[in-house]
Every structure is written in C-alpha cells, then in structure tokens.
Amino acid sequence: MPTPHSKIVKPAIISSKTKYLFTSVILFITLNYKLFKLVKYMREILTISIDSKLKEKVEKAAEKFNVSKSELVKNAIEKYILHEEFQEIRSMLIPFGEKAGYFTDEDIFKDFS
C-alpha cells in the first residue's frame, strides 16, 4: 500500500510526436557518424604528448589490429568525440523521455524494437 510520501508513476501514453523525436535523434546520430566516416578531410599533423606506457600500448594495438599508429589514434579520437556528443544529446533528451514514461534504456527498446 502506498504511503502518503510515495510517488505512483503511471505509464504515459507515448505520443507520436515523442516517438518521432526519439527516432529523429537516433537517425541524426547514425547518419552524422556515417557521413563523418565517408567524407575525406585534408590531413593535418597533430602532435601530442603521452607517457611511455601508453605509447607502448598504442604500438602493440596498431600491430595487433594491422593499422598504423596514426590511424589507431585517429579512430580512438573520433569514437571518443562521437561518444561525448551522444552523451550530451542523451542528457538533453532524458527529461522528455521521463515525461513520456521512459526511465531506462529497456523501456525505450520495448517500444522501438
């Protein structure tokens, strides 16, 4: 039995506008990533400073995955930036999702899978 201080959460009916918003954002992120991978940019040199242990890990990983050190680090930076951008967009959308009754990733997967 609920106490006076407990909050009863009723599942919200998901509007087509909310579904469209989530679908649009996922599509935007997917297309943005694919375009980013397809477009060839002029290469520029970036000098970074890393400790010897990390340098050794980069060298071993590049050899293991049969890519250049430059390509390995470039891919890692791209993935990091994409992940951070995704987290930023996700944090902006969380209030809208909660308002629509989405509290976990599983809630979203149930309706959109």
Q: Where are the domains of the chain?
A: 16-42+50-112
pLDDT in tens, 37-50: 666 566 788 899 99
Across the chain, mean pLDDT equals 80
Residue 51 has pLDDT above 90, yes or no: yes
Q: Provide the pLDDT for residue 104.
A: 84
Q: Which range among 36-40, 62-66, 74-78 shows the weakest confidence by mean pLDDT?
A: 36-40
Instruction: Kindly tell me the burial class for residue 14, based on how many C-beta atoms sit within 10 Å of its own C-beta (0-12, 13-18, 19 or more).
Output: middle
Q: Provide the pLDDT for residue 75.
A: 92
List the alpha helices (DSSP H) in 1-113: 16-38, 52-64, 69-99, 105-112
User: Which has more confidence, 24 or 64?
Assistant: 64
Residues 6+ apart with CB under 8 A from 11: 101
